[in-house]
């Protein structure tokens, strides 16, 4: 019963349920975040000025207490053992790798099938899962037993496909709200603190590969001499998959999560992790979903200043937005270091009728950025719902907005050894963004801030 309460309570806080989504109001006056962003009225680095915004962030309620408890991650690691197993459809673990790391190999594992309820059925019976963020979706929480252990991931990417390997995408009626693979035995670093607060975890487990409608890829080792890093999966770590997929057709569909990754055996010298920070990071509760006031179309948001808690390197920065988002930015000590732009449409991101172009990709800032304890981080985002309307739920209503900055963070190892010096790290003076592709970076997904749910959410509903 305690476990059910813990998971359900955490989910209700962190999954931005419709009744608790962040709301904001219109601001008057020209405002603006910078000279070249006239549409970002009223935005400053203390949240949302002049707008009465509430919600989102590291603090608030029972969920926050449970989240910071040293027992929560241990409980979750035990609980995942009772979830139903998601089968492995096929795997190849010994393909040649393009990485120059000694002993590197490439692998592919396809998990599934995920049986996705059709739109006609969902119109009659909404998604009942506590994990639900879309009433028309089908939610999953499953144990993974066949993911290799005692390995270090160098990169990873997951995509939705059909049985024949072809993409399952908006072009053929499937919308990927999220698919996230979790290491329930590992914690992400609490590397940033909100004003007046101790550093807190954003989630009690580590997400090591995930994707949503905007695609994603994870890079765990920068192109630097002597930087022997990777994401380590230990021999006894628990692995789970958390997913929500929407079927806009009237036929039940079977899809698979296809994971491609490069890896080496054993533990790296520098064990790195993924981190996710939100524009709502320091507000009154744990929600990351944002709902605009009616008629509010072009606006901007920014987090409060977050203080870095440890020396290290940020790299492979990538934003996560929903339809309507323009970009996510990251600043260090007031200077922009990344501007991750939303890319809309394309072959897989455009509906068959041509009347809907979803976010199909985000640009990625690959270069490592050094940070020191005491530095200030700010996440900002711009939204333009005139150019790109919010996605319509299959059962009616509009989807929430988000503004997440996701990146790899490298700091000291358990042995206390620091990460190597980075002579090629760029000065903190200007954004450096490039279109992402499999293996070239990008961290997180919206689900790195959304873990948990009751046992009923562990199977398709």
Q: Would you give per-residue pLDDT tens digits along the chain (461 residues)? A: 334 333 433 333 333 333 334 333 322 222 223 333 433 333 444 333 322 223 333 444 565 666 667 676 677 777 777 889 999 999 999 999 999 899 999 999 999 999 999 999 999 999 998 878 889 999 999 999 999 999 999 999 999 999 999 999 999 999 999 999 999 888 888 899 999 988 876 666 789 999 888 778 899 987 666 778 999 999 999 999 999 999 999 999 999 999 999 999 999 988 898 888 989 888 765 566 788 888 889 999 999 999 999 998 999 999 888 888 899 999 999 999 999 998 898 877 788 778 888 888 889 998 889 999 999 999 999 999 888 888 877 666 777 888 889 899 988 544 334 444 443 333 333 333 332 222 333 222 332 333 222 222 223 33
d(CA 340, CA 381): 9
Taking alpha carbons only, the member of 231, 236, 237, 238 closest to residue 189 is 231
CA–CA distance, 455 with 433 (Å, rounded to integer): 41
| Under 8 Å between Cβ of 453 and 131 | yes
Q: How far is CA 452 from CA 141, 203, 284, 348, 435, in A?
A: 8, 10, 20, 30, 32
The reported pLDDT for the residue numbered 105 is 97
Given this model, what pLDDT does residue 223 score? 64
408 in Cβ contact with 71 (< 8 Å): no
pLDDT tens across 280-321, in order? 888 765 566 788 888 889 999 999 999 999 998 999 999 888
- pTM for the model stands at 0.72
Cα distances from 57 to residues 34, 330, 404, 449, in angstroms, run 24, 16, 11, 10
């Amino acid at each position: 019963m305690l476990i059910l309460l813990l998971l359900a309570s955490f989910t209700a806080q962190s999954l931005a349920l419709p009744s608790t989504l962040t709301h904001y109001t219109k601001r008057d006056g020209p405002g603006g975040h910078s000279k070249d962003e006239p549409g970002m009225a009223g935005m400053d680095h203390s949240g949302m000025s002049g707008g009465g915004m509430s919600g989102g962030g590291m603090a608030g309620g029972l969920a926050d207490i449970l989240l910071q408890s040293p027992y929560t991650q241990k409980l979750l690691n035990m609980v995942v053992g009772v979830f139903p197993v998601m089968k492995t459809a096929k795997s190849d673990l010994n393909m040649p790798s393009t990485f120059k790391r000694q002993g590197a190999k490439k692998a592919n594992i396809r998990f599934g099938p995920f049986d996705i309820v059709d739109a006609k059925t969902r119109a009659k019976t909404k998604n009942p899962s506590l994990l639900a963020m879309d009433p028309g979706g089908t939610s999953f929480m499953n144990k993974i037993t066949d993911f290799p252990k005692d390995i270090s991931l160098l990169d990873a990417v997951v995509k939705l496909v059909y049985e024949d390997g072809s993409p399952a995408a908006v072009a053929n009626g499937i919308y990927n709200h999220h698919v996230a693979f979790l290491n329930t035995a590992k914690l992400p670093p609490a590397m940033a603190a909100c004003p007046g607060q101790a550093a807190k975890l954003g989630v009690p487990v580590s997400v090591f590969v995930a994707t949503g409608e905007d695609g994603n890829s994870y890079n765990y080792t920068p192109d630097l001499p002597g930087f022997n890093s990777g994401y380590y999966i230990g021999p006894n770590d628990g692995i789970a998959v958390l997913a929500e997929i929407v079927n806009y057709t009237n036929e039940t569909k079977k899809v698979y999560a296809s994971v491609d990754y490069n890896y080496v055996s054993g533990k790296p010298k520098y064990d790195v992790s993924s981190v996710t920070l939100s524009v709502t990071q320091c507000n009154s509760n744990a929600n990351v979903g944002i709902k605009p006031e009616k008629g509010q179309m072009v606006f901007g948001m920014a987090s409060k200043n977050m203080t870095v808690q440890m020396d290290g390197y940020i790299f492979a920065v990538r934003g996560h937005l929903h339809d309507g988002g323009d970009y996510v930015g990251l600043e260090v000590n007031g200077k922009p270091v990344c501007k991750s732009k939303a890319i809309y449409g394309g072959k897989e991101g455009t509906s068959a009728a041509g009347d809907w172009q979803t976010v199909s990709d985000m640009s990625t800032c690959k270069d490592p950025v050094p940070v020191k304890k005491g530095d200030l981080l700010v996440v900002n985002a711009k939204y333009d719902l005139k150019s790109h309307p919010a996605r319509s739920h299959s059962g009616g209503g509009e989807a929430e907005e988000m503004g997440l900055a996701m990146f790899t963070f490298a700091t000291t190892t358990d042995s206390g050894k620091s990460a190597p010096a980075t002579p090629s790290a760029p000065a903190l003076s200007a954004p450096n963004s490039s279109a992402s592709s499999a293996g070239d970076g990008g961290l997180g997904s919206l689900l790195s801030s959304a873990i948990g749910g009751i046992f009923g959410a562990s199977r398709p509903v």
